Structure 1
Amino acid sequence: MDLVLSIALALAGFYMAWNIGANDLANAMGTSVGSKALTIKQVIIIASFFELTGALLFGGGVTGTIAKGIVPLDPIMAVNPDIVAVGMLGAILAAGFWITLATLYNLPVSTTHSIVGSVLGFGIVCAILGIITFSEIHWSVMLGIVGSWLLSPLLGGIVAYLIFYVVRKKFLQNSDKVAGIEKKFILFQVITACFVAFSHGSNDVANAIGPLYAVYEMYGPYSFNLMNALLLLGGLGIVIGLATWGYKVIDTVGNKITELTPTRGFSAQFATAAVVLGHSVIGLPISTTHVLVGAVIGVGLAGGLSGINLKVLKNIVSSWIVTVPVSAITSGILFYVLSFIFL
Structure 2
Amino acid sequence: MVLLIVIIVLALVFDYINGFHDAANSIATIVATKVLTPFQAVLWAAFFNFLAYFISRYWVGEFKIGNTIAKTVSVDFITLEVILAGLIAAITWNLLTWKLGIPSSSSHTLIGGFMGAALAHAFTVPGADMNTVVNYAKVIPIILFIFAAPLIGMLVAYLLTIIILNICRKAVPSKAEKWFKRLQLVSSALFSLGHGANDAQKVMGIIGAAVIYYHTKIDIETAYLTAEDPFKYFVSHYEWVPLTSFLMIGLGTMSGGWKIVKTMGSKITKVNSLEGVAAETAGAITLYTAEHLGIPVSTTHTITGSIIGVGVTKRVSAVRWGVTISLLWAWILTIPVSAVLAAIVYYIVSLFT
Q: TM-score, normalised by structure 2?
A: 0.88
Q: 1:260 aligns with which of 248, 259, 271?
A: 271
Q: 2:66 aligns with which of 53, 59, 63?
A: 63
In structure 2, the partner of 1:72 is: 74
Deviation at 1:241, TM superposition (A): 2.1
Deviation at 1:245, TM superposition (A): 3.8
In structure 1, the partner of 2:141 is: 144
Q: 1:116 aligns with which of 108, 111, 115?
A: 111
Aligned residue runs from structure 1 range 218-229, under 5 A:
218-220=213-215, 225-229=236-240
After TM superposition, what 4+ stretches of structure 1 lie above 6 angstroms from structure 2? 221-224
Aligned residue runs from structure 1 range 147-186, under 5 A:
147-171=144-168, 173-175=169-171, 177-186=172-181
Deviation at 1:128, TM superposition (A): 1.8
Q: 2:89 aligns with which of 74, 79, 94?
A: 94
Q: 2:27 aligns with which of 13, 29, 33?
A: 29
Structure 2, gaps ≥5 residues long? 57-61, 216-220, 222-232
Q: Does structure 1 conserve the Cα–Cα contact (< 8 Å) formed by 2:121 and 2:346?
A: no
Structure 1, gaps ≥5 residues long? 77-82
Q: Does structure 2 conserve the Cα–Cα contact (< 8 Å) formed by 1:297 and 1:308?
A: yes
Q: 2:347 aligns with which of 321, 336, 340?
A: 336
Q: Does structure 1 conserve the Cα–Cα contact (< 8 Å) formed by 2:146 and 2:297?
A: yes
Q: Percent identity?
A: 27
Q: 1:130 aligns with which of 121, 125, 132?
A: 125
Q: Does structure 1 conserve the Cα–Cα contact (< 8 Å) formed by 2:235 and 2:241?
A: no
In structure 1, the partner of 2:320 is: 309
The aligned length equals 330
Task: Give the partner amino acid of 1:44.
Answer: V
In structure 1, the partner of 2:199 is: 204
What RMSD over aligned residues (CA atoms) do the two structures have, in Å? 2.0
1:147-191 CA distance string (max 9 Å, x none): 1222111110000000010111111x334x213201211111101
Deviation at 1:226, TM superposition (A): 4.9
Deviation at 1:106, TM superposition (A): 1.1
The 3 A distance-change label for structure 1 pair 306 and 147 is same
Task: Give the partner amino acid of 2:318.
Answer: G
2: CA distance, partners of 1:223 / 1:142:
22
Deviation at 1:225, TM superposition (A): 4.7
The 3 A distance-change label for structure 1 pair 322 and 224 is closer
Deviation at 1:35, TM superposition (A): 1.6
